[in-house]
Chains A and B, each alone.
Chain A
């Protein structure tokens, strides 16, 4: 479509596509964010089968099922149309999310519980694999030629907004009840899953009123749609070459930058810096809220200067600054650093607990410490005394947790996470338009969906696993896990710089 449609019609196309995609992301994230509670409810560790199903639910959904969903629904979208396909993925996602919230616990129905949750989680992965390509293609095929980057960038905000809404809903539910009420079998943790059905219902209603993409409709009317989109995408050399280029020259790097900026950062603040739950979440919420408009800015700018260099700049900045930024997190959340700048104000009376483990008597002493600048933490000292060796202290370990940052550090951390998410907006904002322009209409949905989900699901999804692998192999460097996203982004930057073109394909009506 080269002529712009009426503004109101384009606005509703963007709204219908973006809201639905955002809800799909929300649905996908809440499972991950509530994984601790879900594990307790459905996947008890003492049952090996349940533990195996848990592993599959977490890993298979992202790594295998998402790219598979891209193939299944991409093919469908190129055969029957964009509108009905991404309507189907929305229904599938909404239904499986709601049903996860309805499955009784392992205690009530035994092994059927983890099996049902695994199946529903796989359906979620399948639906997510089909959704994004449909939404991006649908919006791009409605957009006027000089605003494709700008309009599709709204779709690009949805993954981050989905994360924002998921964080917000969970925080809201959790803050309105006790931990026991939240974690009970039919407790508050199920509410985010149930809320989904309402959101999906509204989105289905909006999407049902939308028309098919004008480019696809034209192709269909002329009888020029692809007979076998998978074969044309991956067995026709010219197309396959572009699929490989999209993956290794753009999406692979975008995936790791995206995952590091949003998930690795949050996990790092919680598990390496030991910042308390509420502060670590609100740091993310603030940073996301401030950074989200930049998706639109980069999308808009990409219509003027091209997509390539904005994405490459985002990768380069990540490569250069990841280690200094994460090092600052580590340093400024340490008690040593805070004690240099402030003095201890109060220390609550220590609570001591004694228990006997094998031949050791374990004494745990817990105290809450507060500094004058507002920094506080919980200090837990664990002494093991061997009963057989003259009451000698064998081991002594001090754990500092639940750190509450002073206001200045808190806002500095928000600023740093904002910078990390800014890189995400640079690599992610223009990528929908970039992918859409790489492939012809008749195989666009299939061809762009697969590299997207391999880049994000596999390369991005592996960030925590490879991070853990590197940390275990080289334990002396707490930042060693960052070498994986830095390495992948660097390789992608070189490939993208060398082989990608910065030319905007004005006419995608082919």
Chain B
């Protein structure tokens, strides 16, 4: 199980850049100043990509920690975090 937890972390390392790639790709294909839908609006794409980038970086960090075995054992009490 521990091995699986670690290798799943590697998968997450790949998921994050894929999500950003898909968002940028979606923006390029759908932004249309003449369009009337939300997905044609460049401002919305800028907001979404701007807010999703740090989240994707967070997922990369999470995946990296998982791969390094830092989630092999999760604290069972918030008391452990104080140490």
Q: Which chain A residues have a beta carbon within 8 Å of chain B's beta carbons? A: 52, 55-56, 59-60, 63-64, 67, 238-239, 241-242, 244-245, 247-248, 437-441, 444, 454, 458, 462, 465, 468-469, 472, 491, 494-495, 498-501, 503, 505, 507-508, 510
Nearest residue in A to B27 (C-beta to C-beta)?
A469
Q: Are A468 and B38 in contact (CB under 8 A)?
A: yes
With a cutoff of 8 Å between Cβ atoms, the chain A residues found around residue B12 in the complex are 248, 495
Are B51 and A440 in contact (CB-based, < 8 A)? no
Smallest CB gap from A465: residue in B: B38
**Interface pair A241/B65, CB less than 8 Å apart:** yes
In the complex, B24 has a CB within 8 A of chain A: no
C-alpha gap A476/B72 in the complex (Å): 44
Q: Given A59-B47, A469-B26, A244 and B65 touching (CB < 8 A)?
A: yes
Beyond A472-B30, A495-B8, A501-B74, 14 extra complex contacts between A and B, CB < 8 Å: A59-B48, A63-B47, A238-B81, A238-B83, A241-B65, A248-B58, A437-B77, A438-B78, A439-B78, A440-B78, A454-B55, A462-B48, A465-B39, A498-B8
What total of chain B residues lie within 8 Å of the partner, measured CB to CB? 38
User: Chain B residues near A495 (CB, 8 Å)?
Assistant: 8, 12
Contact residues in A for B74 (Cβ distance below 8 Å): 245, 499-501
Main SS at interface, chain B = helix
Select A458's contact among B15, B55, B78, B79, beta carbons within 8 Å.
Answer: B55
Contact A499 B71 (CB under 8 A): yes
Partner of B82, one of A59, A458, A468, A510: A510
A244-B61, A491-B15 known; A505 vs B70 contact (CB < 8 Å): no
Interchain CB contact under 8 A, A458 and B41: no
Top 6 nearest A-B pairs by Cβ distance? A510-B79, A244-B62, A503-B76, A440-B78, A505-B77, A499-B71
Could you tell me if B43 and A501 are in contact, using CB atoms closer than 8 angstroms?
no
Residues of chain A lying within 8 A (CB to CB) of residue B58:
244, 247-248
Chain A proximity mask over B15-56: 1 for CB below 8 Å, otherwise 0: 100000000001000100000011101011001101110010
Which residues in A have their C-beta under 8 angstroms from that of B13? none
A508 to B76, CA, bound (A): 11
A505-B52 contact in complex given A59-B44, A244-B61, A498-B4, C-beta closer than 8 Å: no
A507–B77 touching, CB < 8 Å: yes
Contact assessment for B81 and A439 in the assembled complex, using a CB-CB cutoff below 8 Å:
yes
Q: How far is the CA of A462 from the CA of B71 in the complex (A)?
A: 28
Give the distance to chain B from A179, nearest Cβ to Cβ, in Å: 24
CB A133 to nearest CB in B, in angstroms, measures: 15
